[in-house]
Structure 1
């Protein structure tokens, strides 16, 4: 089997350069605050609950009867805002 050719101008990097460049660096991202998570999940649950209540008992609740089809906007707005907030979650 043929052997690999080794170039004669190969010089390894000095030990200090290699050690410094391979040192792991921990980045402190901080995470997401608790209030942000509560608000995010709360908006999603509130929007879903609004839509479910509208489907089940919308004709018996005066406010929902007055809103009519705008109930969809209210419910989906909560869902979409909560889902958009997930992009900021770390």
Structure 2
């Protein structure tokens, strides 16, 4: 049997290389690029939320929530922390 091979242009070769790299990253269990920034962002948002609540004497971020602002802030922090358990 004769195998036909198509000569790839540089642009097609670059796309094929990127595709192969993504496939290899998935196979190795690596996280996507957005994972770490989202993880750190959630923890920082939670920290800023709690600090803002204390510094403004419960007027901000949401005055009507009262002490539930602490729950919201710690919720962001916990979500970020839970993401750390999946980080590879």
TM-score of the superposed pair, with normalisation by structure 1: 0.61
- Which residue, out of 60, 68, 78, partners 1:70? 68
- Gapped runs of 5+ residues in structure 1? 1-27
Could you give the per-residue CA deviations for residues 19-76 of structure 1, whole angstroms, max 9, x where no partner exists?
xxxxxxxxx5242212111111110000000000000014443x52211010011000
**Alignment RMSD (CA, Å):** 1.6
Which structure has the highest helix share of the two? 2
Please give the alpha-carbon distance, in whole angstroms, between the structure 2 residues aligned to 1:54 and 1:68.
9
1:4 aligns with: none
Q: How many residues align?
A: 62
SS of the equivalent of 1:83 reads helix
- Which has the greater radius of gyration? 1
Please give the alpha-carbon distance, in whole angstroms, between the structure 1 residues aligned to 2:37 and 2:76.
13
Is this contact kept in 1: 2:62–2:69, CA < 8 A? yes
**Given the alignment of the two structures, is residue 84 of structure 1 paired with residue 86 of structure 2, yes or no?**
no
- Gapped runs of 5+ residues in structure 2? 1-26
2:31 aligns with: 32
TM-score of the superposed pair, with normalisation by structure 2: 0.63
